[in-house]
Amino acid sequence: MMMRRSKNCSVEIKSESDTLSPKERLLRILNFRRVDRPAVIGIIQSVTAEIMDALGIYYKDAYSNAEKMAKLASTSWEILGLEAIGIPFCQTVEVEVFGVEVYWGREKTNIPTVISYKNCLTPEGIQIPENFLEKGRVPIVLDAIEMLAESYDDIPIIGHIIGPFSLAAHLANMEKILRMSIKRPKLVEEFTMLGVDVLAEYANAMFERGADVVVVANMFASVDILGVRGYIRYAQPFDKKLIKKIKGPVILHICGDGTRIINNMIKTGARCISIDSKTDAGYAVRLSRGRAVIMGNINTVYTLTFGKIRDVIAETKKAVENGIDIIAPECSLSPDTPNSNIRAMVETVKRMSYLDNFD
Ligand SMILES: [Zn+2]
């Protein structure tokens, strides 16, 4: 067998005070049902250099072998105690199939990124790759999801895809998209529409292979880049179209301060909104009540990577007190994040209980 079943693993599935397994808890939260305490999971990349060095499995190994991808991803639960396992680790899988070159970095522990954009001037002529699910690293991701789903009954498996605006930004070049949005706004919409169907197909394949939840990570749709009006015109309608086509619960992640677009993010139909540390969490929770669940929003740089354990504990408590139901880093974790800080976030959440209100 590829890896130990979670029931035999070193991390206890239920601590003494827990009444639900991580999978039951997360799915109940996403269905607006009562739970014993918040869930605590990662968003997108949750692997550390410490872990990669210990296992001798690095991103490049994981992306060329489904078993290694599953093994590396499972450490978010097995070693760090995060209550979900998510793949892949970066946002380059889809864009590579469209012909964008991937940069693997100088160090083995660098998160893969893109070397340059496609610089396409118009959407015409951009071919949607046929048989997308069989291209590039997509089959490895899907095989790894299936392996994880078969190995873990009680831990939710999460698939990550890129959002349509972020795909468009990779194809056309972000700067050009911004210029285009002033002079030829319709063209930006056409660019963004381009990826909707194929991204939905990819997300649905993840569910078919055993994923419990899909994250749509639309990092370039940030208000910090697009502004509020830009998000509402160029990203939100396409996130909504995509999410409507996806046959399972979706977490929508957008980087940056989302305070002013939370309502529009909720209107996409995403079951859960993953927010940045700059976002007003209390406001997001109040606004979303009964319509979506809020996830986040522990700062990844100052707190999780460079902070002390006491900083992590304080910020995690604040997030729980703000009413966030799924505690998580605000964004992808830097591989340089110490394991001890991630564990501190997990342990802090585990000690906080809603048991008094539990049916
Ligand atoms: Zn982000």
- pLDDT in tens for each of the 359 residues of the chain? 344 344 444 455 665 567 899 999 999 999 999 999 999 999 999 999 999 999 999 999 999 999 999 999 999 999 999 999 999 999 999 999 999 999 999 999 999 998 777 777 778 778 889 999 999 999 999 999 999 999 999 999 999 999 999 999 998 888 888 888 888 999 999 999 999 999 999 999 999 999 999 999 999 999 999 999 999 999 999 999 999 999 999 999 999 999 999 999 999 999 999 999 999 999 999 999 999 999 999 999 999 999 999 999 999 999 999 999 999 999 999 999 999 999 999 999 999 877 544 44
What are the tens digits of pLDDT across the range 210-223? 999 999 999 999 99
> 85: CA distance to ligand 1 center in Å?
18
> 299: CA distance to ligand 1 center in Å?
11
Q: Please count the CA atoms within 13 angstroms of the CA of 281 that sit on its side-chain side.
A: 26
> 257: CA distance to ligand 1 center in Å?
10
> 31: CA distance to ligand 1 center in Å?
24
φ and ψ at 340, to 5 degrees?
-60, -35
Closest CA to 288 of 302, 275, 273: 273
Neighbours of 277 (CB within 10 A): 20
Structure tokens at 149: 């789903």
| 37 contacts 350 by C-beta, under 8 angstroms | yes
> 16: CA distance to ligand 1 center in Å?
33
Go through the domains of the chain in sequence order and give each one's CATH number: 21-357 (3.20.20.210)
Provide the residues around ligand 1 (an ion) whose CB is within 5 A: 219, 255, 331
> 217: CA distance to ligand 1 center in Å?
7
Distance of CA 50 to the CA centre of its chain: 21
> 124: CA distance to ligand 1 center in Å?
30
> 255: CA distance to ligand 1 center in Å?
4
